[in-house]
Amino acid sequence: MTERLRVAVLAGGPSAEHEVSLESGQAVLDQLSKDRYDPVLVVIDRQGTWSQNLHRDTVDVVFPALHGPYGESGVVQGHLETLGLPYVGCGVLASAVGMDKAAMRRAFVAEDLPVTPHVWFTEHGWRTTTDRWGLVKSLAWPMFVKPANLGSSIGISRVTSMAELDAAVELALGYDRVIVVEQGIAARELACGVLGDYDTAEASAIVELNVDGVWFDYEAKYHGDTDFATIPAPIPDPIAEEVRELSLQAYRAIGGYGLSRVDFLYEEQTGRLYVLEVNTMPGFTSHSVYARGWAASGLPYPQLLDRLIELALARSAA
């Protein structure tokens, strides 16, 4: 019998997405084939302490089911590289760019990808300006205020006035010192999974996120009572093909490897698509759409994990 691969599944971490990461990590642990793998859950607490130290003698490959700063930002990826450990997902650079919404949009613009009108500024710029309206006046209401380095809709607000903008920026500054403000667009929300290496990656079935309210917030993502996803998304074939192609372009724009989920706005009246962001370690919970999109494409969750681990080992061996 072939010796099972020792897989360390990292979960938790100091970011505001700690709880979501724990759910993702447990789901990965449950779905890994016990015939092929010897998995162990390694929990990182909110202070950054690991429940188990990793090195080449104790683990063959690492699955960092971590979301947000610290875990998805390239920090852990760099640490694993210093240990010489193969790991699932994007490398240091792609993780860092994918985590920072301002840097990510600069990469998109450089590759001529369609993005929503937006601005970004630092906490210092916000505190010292005498004209806060001047920072966002190029945008129309409503606007979405976001911490640049966070996910799962945490710290995000939809605003329709300067009073609301002030409060929203203060909320976002509680999570990050760089703020991104996007112009709201009346559009359908789509997502597409990407799997593979930089040159030969593939795109999954497209998912539509059915928003019950004005936008898809944290509560709807993780605690909603109804299934929020329609798979495959009921959109015209040419739009679906464009989503897949733009997903691969966005993936390559940040130097992706392994996996990502690319989020879109689809303005149905005009037929325009906008690339919102690339998530380099999308959720793997029972609600999460990345694995569900690939299941709809003929790649069930356990086999998806097999493929991700194969990609991690292939990169390490190159």
Question: Is 274 in the active site?
Answer: no
Of 25, 98, 283, 293, the active-site residue reads 283
Question: Is 261 in the active site?
Answer: yes
Of 105, 188, 244, 261, the active-site residue reads 261
From the number of C-beta atoms within 10 Å of its C-beta (0-12, 13-18, 19+), residue 18 rates as: buried
What does the alpha-carbon distance between residue 82 and residue 17 come to, in Å, rounded to a whole number? 25
What DSSP designation does 308 have?
A: H
Of 15, 279, 288, 297, the active-site residue reads 279
What does the alpha-carbon distance between residue 139 and residue 114 come to, in Å, rounded to a whole number? 16
Of 37, 263, 266, 301, the active-site residue reads 263
Sign of CA dihedral 216, 217, 223, 225: negative
Of 12, 13, 17, 184, the active-site residue reads 17
| Residue length of the chain | 318
3-state secondary structure of 101: helix
Question: Is 208 in the active site?
Answer: no
What does the alpha-carbon distance between residue 153 and residue 137 come to, in Å, rounded to a whole number? 24
Question: Is 277 in the active site?
Answer: yes
Of 24, 73, 95, 152, the active-site residue reads 152
What does the alpha-carbon distance between residue 278 and residue 259 come to, in Å, rounded to a whole number? 10
> CA of 295: how far to CAs of 79, 171, 205, 212, in Å?
32, 37, 9, 24
Of 277, 288, 293, 297, the active-site residue reads 277
Question: Is 288 in the active site?
Answer: no
Question: Is 175 in the active site?
Answer: no
User: Which residues does residue 61 pair with via DSSP β-bridges, in sequence order?
Assistant: 7
What does the alpha-carbon distance between residue 269 and residue 296 come to, in Å, rounded to a whole number? 27
The tokens describing 286, both together, are: 């029972």
What does the alpha-carbon distance between residue 70 and residue 72 come to, in Å, rounded to a whole number? 6
Question: Is 210 in the active site?
Answer: no
Question: Is 189 in the active site?
Answer: no
What DSSP designation does 217 have?
A: -
The tokens describing 234, both together, are: 């009921």
Of 78, 218, 222, 316, the active-site residue reads 222
Which active-site residues does the annotation give?
17, 152, 222, 261, 263, 277, 279, 283
